[in-house]
Amino acid sequence: MSATETLTVGFGDGDAGVQGLAIEGSGALLSIDGHLAPAPGFDLTDVDGAACRVRGDGDYDVTLEPVSPPVELGPATRTWICRARGNTGGRLLDGFGSLTRSAAPADGVTLQRAVIAWLGPELALALAARRPRKAGGHGDEELHAAILRGASLEPVPVEDPRLSSTYDGDGRLIRCGIELWEPADAEFAQRLGGIATAHGDLVHPNGARSRVAFIAWHGERQQGIGSYVITKSPRRP
């Protein structure tokens, strides 16, 4: 991996009650039944393109194999949807995951968001946003999204993606909403609502901090799990 790239791997199995997320060089978080579990010392190993293995202290060993083509979320981010299988703390896991390679933020970018929703074997959503230093809020972000559908999870770009977020008094995400208009003038949008089930923070080697929320997603006909990661760049001296 390039020194200017960040590698993020997420995985989960709603039936097993397990979700995890690891950022290379920054550590990992694990949620068990909606509660943040003690860090198992995860390491990303055997990274080969979009396939990888996440292993940790004790009985933690998850393999991710891509089941979709790469999704281009703007010029700086590529995401693969993966099948995730293995063991997590004695629980068998047979679910989904994602692997994302993102370039270092350009000068002036202070905040990045990465949102993933796994909604079964034939539907997933991916979204990435970057906010410049002088932006006033969501409306000033550079936002890219894609819907992946079908047995081969072919990505469909979204012309008009929208993301809304609600936070508590400590700045932690508590709920969010996604509205994806494939053509901007489509009659209907793909809509999902999300509730945060667990939270954690990871600190990058350069001082940036990622606030991670594990998400339970629900739509009109879909339910699933995923994550919402907000990364703030370190303050300039």
pLDDT digits (tens, 9 = 90+) for 122-141: 999 999 998 865 655 555 78
pLDDT in tens, 209-227: 999 999 999 988 889 999 9
Which pLDDT does position 68 carry in this prediction? 95
Q: How would residue 77 be classed by pLDDT, with cut points 50, 70 and 90?
A: very high
Report the C-alpha gap between 211 and 154 in whole angstroms: 29
Beta bridge partners of 21: 10, 29
Give the start-to-end residue ranges of the domains of the chain.
5-232
* pLDDT reported for residue 22: 92
User: What are the phi and psi torsion angles at 39 (to 5°)?
Assistant: -60, 125
Identify the band that residue 113 occupies on the pLDDT scale cut at 50, 70 and 90: very high
pTM for this entry:
0.92
